[in-house]
C-alpha cells in the first residue's frame, strides 16, 4: 500500500538523518578531545614558560647582586690603594750608611724626628731588609713607581 511505502521511505530517511547526526556528534567529540589535549599542552607550556621567566629573573637578580659586590670590592680596593699609596709616601728611600737603602719617616707627628734629617737605618736588620727589598732604582724589586 501507498501509506506503508511512504512510511518505509520516511523511516529510511529518518534513519539516514540520525546516522548523519551520530557521525557529526562523533566528529564534534573527537574535535573536543583534540581541543582538550591542545589546551593541556598549552597549559603545560605556559607553566614551563612561567618557570623559565622566574629562573631568568632569579639569574638577573643574582647577576645584579654580583655586580653590586664587584662594585663594592672595587671601591674597597680603591680605598686600600689610596691608603697604601699614603703609607708608602710616608717613607723616603735614601742612601744609608755604607750605601745601603733605608726607610725613614717623613713626618715627626709620631716622634720620628726631623723630616729634613738625612736618612738613617733604624737597625742593621732594617738596613739589610731595605737593601734586599729595593733595587738600585729606589723602587721595590720588580715594580715600577706608582
Q: Report if residue 123 sits inside a domain.
A: yes
Residue 120 falls inside a structural domain? yes
- pLDDT tens track for 53-85: 999 999 999 999 999 999 999 999 999 999 999
Residue 85 lies in a domain: no
Q: Is residue 146 part of a domain?
A: no
84 inside domain: no
**Looking at the domain assignment, is residue 30 inside a domain?**
no
Grid coordinates belonging to 124: 742593621
Query: Over the stretch 10-52, which tens digit does the pLDDT of each residue have?
Result: 999 999 999 999 999 999 999 999 999 999 999 999 999 999 9
Number of folded domains that form the chain: 1
Amino acid at each position: 500500500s501507498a501509506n506503508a511505502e511512504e512510511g518505509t521511505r520516511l523511516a529510511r530517511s529518518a534513519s539516514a538523518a540520525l546516522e548523519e547526526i551520530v557521525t557529526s556528534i562523533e566528529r564534534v567529540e573527537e574535535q573536543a578531545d583534540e581541543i582538550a589535549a591542545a589546551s593541556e599542552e598549552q597549559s603545560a607550556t605556559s607553566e614551563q614558560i612561567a618557570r623559565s621567566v622566574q629562573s631568568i629573573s632569579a639569574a638577573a637578580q643574582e647577576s645584579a647582586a654580583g655586580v653590586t659586590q664587584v662594585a663594592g670590592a672595587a671601591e674597597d680596593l680603591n680605598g686600600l690603594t689610596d691608603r697604601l699609596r699614603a703609607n708608602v709616601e710616608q717613607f723616603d728611600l735614601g742612601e744609608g750608611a755604607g750605601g745601603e737603602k733605608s726607610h725613614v719617616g717623613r713626618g715627626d707627628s709620631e716622634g720620628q724626628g726631623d723630616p729634613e734629617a738625612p736618612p738613617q737605618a733604624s737597625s742593621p736588620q732594617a738596613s739589610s731588609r731595605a737593601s734586599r727589598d729595593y733595587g738600585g732604582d729606589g723602587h721595590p724589586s720588580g715594580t715600577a713607581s706608582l
